[in-house]
Structure 1
Amino acid sequence: MNVHATALAEAHLPDEQTSVFARDAIDDLSQRPKRLSPKYFYDATGSELFEAITRLPEYYPTRTELSILRDRSSEIAAIIPKGAALVEFGAGATTKVRLLLENCAIGAYVPVDISGDFLKVQADALRKDFPELAVYPVAADFTAPFALPAAIAGMPKVGFFPGSTLGNFEPHEACAFLRSAREILGAGAQMIIGVDLEKDERVLYEAYNDAAGVTARFNLNVLVRINRELGGNFDLSAFSHRAIYNRERHRIEMHLISKKPQTVRMLGTSIAFRAGESIHTENSYKYSLERFSALARGSGWTAVKSWTDKAGMFSVHALVASD
C-alpha cells in the first residue's frame, strides 16, 4: 500500500464521493505539472460563484447563449419531440432550461449534477414554477455513466448541455463524453449543446480575468473545498489566480500560482510547491463551427442545425445520434 492509499485508508472519509475527491486531489497534486479537475469547483459555494460570473459584464458566453436560445426558440421547439424527457448534463441555475421548458412541449426534466444540495434547490424552484412538469433530479458525475430514472424509460430523450462546458474537456475527453451521453440517452437521442467560438484574444482574456475578481474567487474556492472536506491547510493568500490564452491549442487556461516555496498537507500527505509553480485547474477550448461538427461526427452524432449570434461569438447546435 503506497503512502497515498495509506492516508486514505486512515482518513475515515464520510462517503464515496468525498473519497473519490480525495484520491483525485492527492494524485493530481502529486503530478508534475500539478492539476485539479474543474469538476471539483462545483460545491454549493462554487456553483453560486459561477452563477455570479455569468452576470459579469466581461463574461459574454451566458448572455450570448441566452439570446440564441431566446431568438431561436421556435426552431429549437420544432426539433424537440413532443413529450420528450430533457436530460441536462451538469445542470446549474435554471435560467437557460426555463427557455426550453417555456417554448417546448417537454414531458419530463432530468437535471444531473455533482452538487446534490444545489441541484435540490433548483429542482424545487422548477417544480413550483412548472407544477405540471415531472422533475427527476439525479446527483451524479455526468462525465461518468449513470442510470436515468425509470419513469422516463418510454419517452424520447433529448440531452441539454449548455454553457460551453464541453470546452472544459480535452478534445479526446469531449469525444468520450459525447459518446457516453449517446449511450445514456439511447437510440434516437438528440442533443442541444452550447459551444464557445474562437474570437479576439482580448475579449477572451477579460472574460476570465474580470475586474471584480469573481473568477479568481471561483478558482481559489477549490482550495477552500480541499481545506474543508479533506483536512487541507492551504493558505489562500499564498496563491494567485491566472488565466491565459493558449493560441496553439485554442484554449483559455486557468491556473493557481504559488507565490512562494511552501508545503501543504492534506490527509497526512505533504505537497511541496516551488515559488511560481502552477496548479492547472481548468481549460476552456474554443471551437470553429467546422471543428466542432467534425468532433460531433467522430463521437456518434450528426449536427442537423447550428445557430450563432450576429457577432459570431457563440454557437448552439442540435445533434442527432448517428445510426
Structure 2
Amino acid sequence: MADIALDVHISPERLLDDLRSDVRLGMTAAPKWISPKWFYDARGSELFEQITELPEYYPTRTERALIEAHAYDVAERTDAAILVELGSGSSEKTRLLLNAGIKHGSLRKYVPQDVSPTALEGAIEVIAREHPGLEIHGIVSDFTDTLQNLPADGSRTIAFLGGTLGNLIPEERALFLADIAQALIAGEFLLLGVGLVVEESVVVPAYDDAAGVTAQFNANVLSVLNERLNANFDPGQFEHVALWNSDAEWIEMRLRARTAQDIRIEDLDLDVHFDEGEELRTEISAKFRKEGIEAELVDAGFRVDEFWTDPESRFALILASRTSLGQRDDR
C-alpha cells in the first residue's frame, strides 16, 4: 500500500471566515464582485465537470492533449523526485505526469493540494490504488497560502494547471508567481497551463455554452451564499453574462440582475441592493500571449525552458525553471 500522509492547514471555520470576509468586501464594492473560488461546492464541482466535456469548452481537452504529448519530456527534463500539484481536484490529468515520472524512474512522491478535503481524499485513494509504491502527501489549504508548507526533501516540480492562473488579476499573479519562485530553489521547476488569446468567437462560447451549463454553474454561487451565509438570493432573478474584455484580454463572467432587488445576507447582518441590470462579477479568466506570460515568469524569477502549444495555439503548457537569483537557501 502507498505511504500516505494528509496535512490540514485550513479548517472549515477558517474557510467560512474567508468567505464572510470576501463576500462583505465584494458586495459593498462598486462594481460588486465575488471570488471564483466559492463556485466549488458539491453542485458547483459537478457542473464544472460537465462544462469540461462540452463541445465549446476547449481548454480542458486541449491541455490534456498537451500533457499526454509531453509528460515524458517533462519527466526527462526535470528529473523530479517530487511532483506538487496546486489545486489538484480529481488529479485526472496529473496521472499522465505521474505515469511518466514513474516510468522515467525519478518520481517517488506526489503532493496534491486542494481546498476541499473530500476531493483530495478521493483523488488520493484512486492514485494510491494505481501506484502503491508512490508516497502521497496531501495538503488541504488555499493554493495562494500553502507554499511554505510544501515538502522539500527532494527535487520538485510544481504543477499549476487548468488555466487557473488566469483567475488572478495581474497584481495577484505577480505576487503568486514570485511566491512560487521563492518556495523553490535553483534548478527546480514550475509546470504551468494557461489559455492563450484566441478569437472572441472561440473564447466566448467556451464560457457561454448553448446548453446553458455554464449559466447554471455561474448562478450556483448564489446558492452557495444562501446555504453558507443564510442569504436570500433568488438565482432565477439573475442572468448569466460572459464578455470578452479586449483591453485586459480576459473573459469576464457576471450575473446580471433581471429586476431591482434587495438581498439580505443574515450571517453578515448585511443588506445589499441591486438595481435592475446591475452586474455582479463572478470570475475573470485571463488569456495570455507568449511574450507576455514569459515576461511575467522571468520577472518572478524563472527561466522559460519549454513552451508547448496545440496546433491552433489555443492553450500552452509551459515548463519553467527557477533561476539562481534570490533562491531560497533554507531547505
When normalised by structure 2's length, the TM-score is 0.89
**Correspondence for 1:93 among 90, 93, 116:** 90
Which AA in structure 2 matches 1:231?
N
Q: In structure 2, the residue corresponding to 1:15 is in which secondary structure?
A: helix
Deviations 1:284-307 (A, max 9, x none): 111111111011111111111110
Unaligned regions of 5+ residues in structure 2, if any?
Answer: 1-10, 325-331
| 2:285 is the alignment partner of 1:284 | yes
Structure 2 residue aligned with 1:208: 207
Structure 1 residue aligned with 2:216: 217
> RMSD of the TM alignment (CA)?
1.6
Distance 1:42 1:259 in 2: 24
Structure 1 residue 146: deviation in Å? 4.4
Structure 1 residue aligned with 2:194: 195
Same amino acid, percent of matched pairs? 37
Structure 2 residue aligned with 1:37: 35
Structure 1 residue 141: deviation in Å? 0.7
Structure 1 residue 187: deviation in Å? 4.6
Distance 1:57 1:296 in 2: 31
Listed as ranges, the matches of 1:233-312 within 5 Å are 233-266=232-265, 267=267, 268-312=269-313
Q: In structure 2, the residue corresponding to 1:279 is in which secondary structure?
A: strand
Structure 1 residue 92: deviation in Å? 1.7
Unaligned regions of 5+ residues in structure 1, if any?
Answer: 1-12
Structure 1 residue 283: deviation in Å? 0.7
Count of matched residue positions in the alignment of Structure 1 and Structure 2: 308
Distance 1:244 1:101 in 2: 37
Which AA in structure 2 matches 1:242?
V
**Correspondence for 2:99 among 83, 98, 102:** 102
Which AA in structure 2 matches 1:71?
A
Distance 2:197 2:19 in 1: 32
The 8 Å contact of residues 239 and 259 in structure 1, kept in 2 or not, is answered as: yes
Distance 2:307 2:70 in 1: 10
| 2:112 is the alignment partner of 1:111 | yes
Deviations 1:244-274 (A, max 9, x none): 1011111110001111111111122111111
Deviations 1:28-81 (A, max 9, x none): 111110000111112232222222211111000111111111112232121122
Structure 1 residue 185: deviation in Å? 3.6
When normalised by structure 1's length, the TM-score is 0.91
Listed as ranges, the matches of 1:76-155 within 5 Å are 76-82=74-80, 84-105=81-102, 106-148=107-149, 152-155=151-154
